[in-house]
A = this chain, B = another copy of it.
Amino acid sequence: MEFHKTLDCSTCSMASPVFCFLNHQEVAKIDDNRIEVSFNPGDTIMKSGTPKTHVMSFYQGLAKVTLEGKDGKNFILDFIRPQTFFSGPGFFFDNKHYLTITAVEPCKVCLIDMDIFFQMMKDNFEMAFAFMENSNKFIMNLIHKMESLLIKHHHGRVAESLLYLSGVIYQSNPFNMSISRKDLSDLTALPKESVSRILQEFKNEGIINMKDNTVHILKEDSLMQISQNG
């Protein structure tokens, strides 16, 4: 971890849309009340159950947002890429974390004092509204995720995840999957054995190719169909 700052809010191009309605004074105040933190893969960025003191601007790397269930079962609700603003549902409520965020690739974030951010929303309704929009998008993600998990069968879930990883998270087609099979298992809410099997099936059917964590989607149409109907 580094405690000196390498960025300047006034020139930062990595800020989330939540911050785009601030005037110079407000930007300066954010700058004075933030800390930059780096995380290595596997590091916990936010831990469910702990007190919530900051909101987060995620500006580098890849992280996973996890719901910790019982018996050590975890569910990945989403992956985070820059630029993302994250406060979490405990904000305004009991100021605790309800989700765990873990670095998958090396990450850099700015942590902004929650009270400062809170006060700023009082004076700047545009930021407050941008914050609310951000919350609502999070809700819609959750709803979509829920729908997928409830409706789709195993093959469909894996197909959807591969398309999501390639299209949204890694944004390339032969993509190097930096997440583990366990992560894929937590993302699809499937036992890791099932994930292995299904990936193997996709490979045998010529839908994808796999080698050394590099996945190549060969028949995107087939995957989309499996994702829809499976």
**25 A/B residue pairs, CB under 8 Å, sorted by A:** A67-B143, A67-B146, A67-B147, A73-B150, A73-B151, A75-B146, A75-B147, A89-B140, A90-B140, A91-B132, A92-B132, A92-B133, A92-B136, A93-B136, A93-B137, A93-B140, A98-B143, A121-B125, A121-B129, A125-B128, A128-B128, A128-B132, A135-B135, A142-B143, A149-B149
CA distance A129 to B135 in the complex (A): 13
Q: How far is the CA of A136 from the CA of B89 in the complex (A)?
A: 5
- Which residues 82-103 of A sit at the B interface, judged by CB distance below 8 A? 89-93, 98-99
CA distance A145 to B139 in the complex (A): 13
- Looking at A69, A73, A135, A138, the one whose CB has the most chain B CB atoms below 10 A away is A135
Using C-beta atoms within 8 Å of the partner chain, give the interface range for chain A.
35 or more
Contact yes or no, B138 A139, CB < 8 A: yes
Closest 7 CB pairs of A and B: A89-B139, A92-B133, A89-B136, A122-B125, A92-B132, A69-B151, A89-B140
The answer, yes or no, to whether A4 is at the interface (CB within 8 Å) is: no
A189 at the interface (CB under 8 A from B): yes
**Across the interface, do A92 and B129 meet the contact criterion of CB distance under 8 Å?**
yes
Further pairs besides A67-B146, A121-B129, A135-B136: 5, Cβ < 8 Å: A73-B150, A93-B140, A125-B128, A135-B135, A142-B142
Q: Give the nearest-CB partner of A134 in chain B.
A: B92
Q: Is A146 a contact partner of B142 (Cβ separation < 8 A)?
A: yes
**A66 nearest CB across to chain B (Å):** 11
Structural contact, B122 and A75, CB atoms closer than 8 A: no
Q: How far is the CB of A5 from chain B (nearest CB, A)?
A: 29
Q: List A residues at the B interface (Cβ < 8 Å).
A: 67, 69-71, 73, 75, 77, 89-93, 98-99, 121-122, 125, 128-129, 131-133, 135-140, 142-143, 145-147, 149-151, 189
When all copies of this chain in the complex are counted, the total is 2
A117 to B165, alpha carbons, bound, how many Å? 39
Most buried by B among A131, A146, A189: A146
Known: A89-B139, A93-B140, A122-B125. A69 touches B132 (CB 8 A): no
